[in-house]
Amino acid sequence: MTRARVVRRSGGRKVSRRIPGSPSAASATDAAFERFLTASAARADRVLTRRLADRPDTCRLGEAMRYAVFGGGKRLRPALVYLGCQAFGGDLRAADGAAAAVELVHTYSLVHDDLPCMDDDDLRRGRPTLHVKYDEATAVLAGDALHTEAFATLAALARPEHVGECVRILAEAAGLQGMVGGQVRDLDAEGAKPKAALVEQIHLGKTAALIAGSLELGAVAAGASAAGRRLLRRYGLVVGLAFQVADDVLDVVGDVATLGKTPGKDAASGKMTYPAAVGLEQARAKARALSSQAARLAGRLGGPAEGLLRALPRFVTERTK
Amino acid sequence: MTRARVVRRSGGRKVSRRIPGSPSAASATDAAFERFLTASAARADRVLTRRLADRPDTCRLGEAMRYAVFGGGKRLRPALVYLGCQAFGGDLRAADGAAAAVELVHTYSLVHDDLPCMDDDDLRRGRPTLHVKYDEATAVLAGDALHTEAFATLAALARPEHVGECVRILAEAAGLQGMVGGQVRDLDAEGAKPKAALVEQIHLGKTAALIAGSLELGAVAAGASAAGRRLLRRYGLVVGLAFQVADDVLDVVGDVATLGKTPGKDAASGKMTYPAAVGLEQARAKARALSSQAARLAGRLGGPAEGLLRALPRFVTERTK
């Protein structure tokens, strides 16, 4: 895709310039984003390994926790922490604790969400869910231990002067005002007619809160200004909503082999999804609109990670799993 | 019980002296301890009310969380935070966040512990357990939200310079090295022959870790020295073990009306308890021995709260509920 690049001499130095807005500029940033995601996942995996896998503790619960954490997740949320840090020119080492912590919160929520009394899922990322592989009690406790470990990791690895603020952001993203709040709204809405406004409210809590929180944690690690954090947070909520709308669409059109989980479940169980509320095509249009909105906010954020911030909404809305 | 007091004139000032070790000196400190416990519970309730009850959020999950938190608990763990703070002459206001946080962790663990896939309990403090009153999914999520709220409360109310250390202590007390670790050892041991060493290991994790952690959090709030914290922690582990042994005994000899939960359940389900491992009388003797050991450590700790520190082990081993 070198077509989109103009290589010219400038004072004897080679300059590689991308033509903004051209399709191949997008492809180039998408490729850069994929590399960033791979590098971030590897980095987060090293932190998680240090916290979880290198322990002498070999009890069954430790095994179960590792089964859940090292189960082929994309590590999107840790990558967002690093992205938030990079957006404000921060040192990624300062973001390691938060990167691991958000993945631990995400993992605990999946383990509990899959339980028979919740979504009752047997398959997650192509493998048996934790309560199927072990048992329900182990799944409850492993989720609880991962939840605690998230805050322990933050306290252990975040810079001392950031711990309080980081705990506050993570707790708000994960708790009643965020992820769990969205889950419970989802439960409460079961059987009701899906409406776009309600679906949006649920998605903002269930998914977007932790995505926005991840970006903000990275910004804190980089010592970003309050205004910068606010703008990044807004961007994160839009990206998060786009992510979940795309997820709803995938639940309708995806297949089990690619998704690694059972598709069509949400629709079958009358869940609050965008396609259920407004139809498949409108849902796709909504995802595209959110993606464009996020790209505009990325432009306003600018900075050293602008290209990655622009690529992220495309990545979350154009993925196939 | 004035018999144990010698009132004498000393330079025109009335001095009330307690004869150390006499039964009525114990009664006097026990009465003081009960007053301390009542005052601490009221104080912790005010903090918990501010965090949970005064919210505008009226969703079902918020209700469920309040049902669990304001359900007639003794607030022993918050009292231990205040006791740890008082032992080192600290300002109780600095301990409010930790006091509420340990109660939130304790409450979340009870909610999850009562679940059908765990202990399957219908009754807690004389009321239906959360999953009976609401449903299982709500109980899982309410527990999760209380767990998050514990760390949020710590971050919001602890002194900024203490947050990191407090989160570390709370997470260690609650996680795989503490409470959850004990719970999983308990699960793993099901069906095995109860042995005293294994029971002790389970109890240290399930109960003593959070009790010792509560005291240590109070000490941190008071700015105690590392040596002071270590000694208080040791005392806390002994008191915690005594508490759980006494609990095992109550499960055998208590009645449902006083306990507010179903007695005999542990014995019936082949749980790891002291009476099951060594018999009822030996278990009682163990509780008494631990109580004496804790009293000796209280003597070494000394300080402004020595009387309360001496009364606590009596309180936990001589209670009837």
Residues B93-141 have pLDDT tens digits of 999 999 999 999 999 999 999 999 998 999 988 899 999 999 999 999 9
Cα B122 to Cα B115: distance, rounded to the nearest angstrom: 9
Q: Please state the ipTM of this predicted complex.
A: 0.88
Name the strand (E) or helix (H) holding B39.
helix B23-48
CA atoms within 13 A of residue A298's CA, in its CB half-sphere: 21
Cα B212 to Cα A191: distance, rounded to the nearest angstrom: 46
Answer yes or no: are the C-beta atoms of B113 and B76 closer than 8 Å.
no
Q: What is the pLDDT of residue A120?
A: 92
Q: What is the pLDDT of residue B192?
A: 85
CA atoms within 13 A of residue A198's CA, in its CB half-sphere: 19
CA atoms within 13 A of residue B124's CA, in its CB half-sphere: 27
Q: What is the pLDDT of residue B260?
A: 59
Interface test with A, best of B54, B104, B180 (most A CBs within 10 A): B180
| pLDDT-above-90 percentage for chain A | 70
| pLDDT-above-70 percentage for chain A | 85
Can you tell me the mean pLDDT for B6-15?
37
Query: Quick check: A30 pLDDT over 90?
Result: no
CA atoms within 13 A of residue B196's CA, in its CB half-sphere: 7
Angle, alpha carbons A23-A14-A20 (nearest 5°): 20
pLDDT mean across residues, chain B: 87
The confidence band for A73, taking pLDDT boundaries of 50, 70 and 90, is confident
Cα A287 to Cα B277: distance, rounded to the nearest angstrom: 61
Can you tell me the mean pLDDT for A307-313?
96
Least confidently predicted of A90-104, A235-249, A261-275, B259-273? B259-273
Q: What is the pLDDT of residue A6?
A: 32
User: What is chain B's length?
Assistant: 321
Interface test with A, best of B113, B117, B130, B136 (most A CBs within 10 A): B117
Cα A175 to Cα A109: distance, rounded to the nearest angstrom: 11
In tens, the pLDDT along B55-89 reads 655 688 999 999 999 988 899 999 999 999 999 99
Task: Confirm whether pTM is higher than 0.90.
Answer: no
The confidence band for B270, taking pLDDT boundaries of 50, 70 and 90, is low
Contact A59 B188 (CB under 8 A): yes
Say whether residue B119 is in contact with chain A using an 8 A CB cutoff. Answer: no
Cα B199 to Cα B286: distance, rounded to the nearest angstrom: 12
Cα B97 to Cα B86: distance, rounded to the nearest angstrom: 15
In tens, the pLDDT along B272-314 reads 899 999 999 999 999 999 999 999 999 999 999 999 999 999 9
Cα A215 to Cα A313: distance, rounded to the nearest angstrom: 13
Domains of chain B: 24-318 (1.10.600.10)
Can you tell me the mean pLDDT for A167-190?
92
Least confidently predicted of A221-235, B163-177, B253-267, B291-305? B253-267
Q: How far is CA A30 from CA A295, A308, A309, A311, B154, in A?
A: 13, 8, 10, 5, 41
Interface test with B, best of A148, A170, A210 (most B CBs within 10 A): A148
Answer yes or no: are the C-beta atoms of B203 and B182 closer than 8 Å.
yes
Cα A75 to Cα A78: distance, rounded to the nearest angstrom: 6
Can you tell me the mean pLDDT for A66-92?
95
In tens, the pLDDT along A118-150 reads 989 999 888 999 999 999 999 999 999 999 999
Residue A136 burial by CB count (10 A; 0-12/13-18/19+): exposed, middle or buried?
middle
Query: Quick check: B18 pLDDT over 50?
Result: no
Q: What is the pLDDT of residue A255?
A: 61
Query: Quick check: B269 pLDDT over 80?
Result: no
Measured in angstroms, the CA of A284 and the nearest CA of chain B are apart by 31
Residues 148-167 of B with CB under 8 A from A: 148-149, 151-152, 154-156, 158, 160, 163-165, 167
Least confidently predicted of A175-179, A201-205, B2-6, B250-254? B2-6
Query: Quick check: B19 pLDDT over 50?
Result: no
Residue predicted with more confidence, B25 or B91: B91
Residue predicted with more confidence, B26 or A154: A154
Say whether residue A267 is in contact with chain B using an 8 A CB cutoff. Answer: no
Query: Quick check: A58 pLDDT over 80?
Result: no
In tens, the pLDDT along A243-296 reads 999 999 988 887 655 555 555 566 556 678 999 999 999 999 999 999 999 999
